[in-house]
Amino acid sequence: MVNSMLRPESFLTHTLVHHPHGQAVTRILAAAIHAVEPQAAIRRFVKLNGNTLEVDGQKYDLSETGRILILGLGKASLSMAQPLADMLAPHSPRGLLIPKVNFPFPVGGFEIQPGDHPVPGQNSLQAGAKAIRLVHGLNENDLVICLISGGGSALMTAPHAGISLPELQQLTSLLLACGARVDEINTLRRHLDQLKGGGLARMASPARVVSLILSDVVNSPLEAIASGPTAPDPSTRADALSVLEKYGLQEKVSAPILAALKSLPETPKPGDAVFARTQNVIVGSNLQAAESALRQARSEGFHPHLLGNDWQGEARDVSRTIGQVLKTTDAERPFCLVAGGETTVTLRGRGHGGRNQELALAAVNELKGMDNVLLVTLATDGEDGSTDAAGAVVSGETFQRGIELGIRPDPFLQNNDSYSYFNTLGDLLKVGATSTNVNDLLFCFRW
């Protein structure tokens, strides 16, 4: 479930504590997270009436169903599984949950196998092997319910024969370091992994497969969320090779990976018969979170505006663009602008941070000296990069506050050390893990 302590006050930082509208801002941030709470999302889309399970309007007669298996994959796997397991308890479902971290308590009927994130590891490999065993030997009367959320691509892996885990780890690290987008990374993953790119649906066939998906990918393309284990893959091996070419990685990845991308069979495509008995449903998304924030902003007296949910690119470049929007918009004040998406960071230094913190750090110079302005960045899972922060808060006074504390933003930006900068200022958002994940949100306020 969403962190029970995730109340508006969980979002308070030094700037928001002292800002006259800080409490209103925290209520807007909290509204965004609560809108995509996994348990509520499952209950909105799944109903049980007697022996009839209804999923987004499609009905399944459980009196004619054999085994019911639940596979939870991702950071929200437990929160998504709990209401479903309660609902289906009379039908004795069993399953496997693959979260980012182990749970401090047993979960009845489920095996728990944490994976590794953001780079797949031995735990991810074990998770992949157990997922394959779970769906092995099913028949047409069986039902597999997949619960898919953020982080799934790394948490579960089953590389094709001839590809080793260290080779996958090297590839993932190279892609992350060069600033590749998540959809580009997942294009490669789909063509190198037995379970991704529709592979899980193919292994579970002829069983019926239902996937309930909490989207952590810009615009929610099914094939990109957790690399689409139950979705058709419109991309090709040539597309995967073009990603390597784009970032100049052909000479850096291993020979077996290059050979696999040139010789492995294609992934199942749209229209493939394997998907005739598969239902994929998006139960939560970045847009839902943004719309909830905008409704809360209106109730707080702001004029709300959505800037779109497909913001991508280098974090510091996006920051400059947002800064220009703030300086030039003619929106009626007070306003709240909300943008969603997922930026990237090209690593140049050895500091600590994440894409949301880096975007905020790049905005310090952009907003320097501006009156009555706030910018807040937020990773909806509560974890930005490898840090315990979800993002950061910037005002027109942030630059000067830093000077008074003996720090300037530029050296920290050059070293990718956004965490240290905002930690000194007390303006890191530290809300804890939210048990949900629908990409990142950016909030701009002006009075």
- Rounded Cα distance between 101 and 115, Å, is 7
- Rounded Cα distance between 228 and 96, Å, is 18
Residue 117: how many other CB atoms lie within 10 Å: 22
List per-residue pLDDT tens for the chain, 447 residues long.
334 347 889 999 999 999 999 999 999 999 999 999 999 999 999 999 999 999 999 999 999 999 999 999 998 999 999 999 999 999 999 999 999 988 877 788 899 999 999 899 999 999 999 999 999 999 999 999 999 998 899 999 999 999 999 999 999 999 999 989 889 999 999 999 999 999 999 999 999 999 999 999 888 999 999 999 999 999 999 999 999 999 999 999 999 999 999 999 999 999 999 999 999 999 999 999 999 999 999 999 999 999 999 999 999 999 999 999 999 999 999 999 999 999 999 999 999 999 999 999 999 999 999 999 999 999 999 999 889 999 999 999 999 999 999 999 999 999 999 999 999 999 999 999 898 989 999 999 999
Query: How far is the CA of 102 from the CAs of 5, 57, 225, in angstroms?
Result: 20, 34, 22
Compute the Cα dihedral for 29, 117, 412, 309 and give only its sign.
negative
Cβ neighbours of residue 398 under 8 Å, at least 6 residues apart?
15, 364, 367, 368, 425, 427
- What tokens appear for 271 in the block? 């229209």
pLDDT of residue 2: 36
pLDDT of residue 124: 98
Cβ neighbours of residue 374 under 8 Å, at least 6 residues apart?
15, 19, 21, 25, 393, 394, 395, 443, 444, 445, 446
Q: Smallest Cα–Cα separation from 157: which of 194, 183, 204, 199?
A: 194
Cβ neighbours of residue 207 under 8 Å, at least 6 residues apart?
135, 138, 139, 140, 141, 142, 143, 144, 277
- What tokens appear for 197 in the block? 């790119």
- Rounded Cα distance between 192 and 162, Å, is 10
pLDDT of residue 290: 98
User: How far is C-alpha 439 from the geometric centre of its chain's CA atoms?
Assistant: 5
Q: State pTM to two decimals.
A: 0.87
- Rounded Cα distance between 187 and 183, Å, is 6
User: How far is C-alpha 393 from the geometric centre of its chain's CA atoms?
Assistant: 21
Q: Report which DSSP code applies to 426.
A: T
Cβ neighbours of residue 413 under 8 Å, at least 6 residues apart?
316, 358, 361, 362
Domains and CATH numbers, the chain: 8-36+287-446 (3.40.1480.10), 39-284 (3.40.50.10180)
- Rounded Cα distance between 370 and 395, Å, is 8
Task: For 224-233, give one letter per residue: b (16+ CB within 10 A) or e.
Answer: bbbbbbbbbb
Q: Find the helix packing angle between 182-190 and 165-177, rounded to 10°.
A: 160
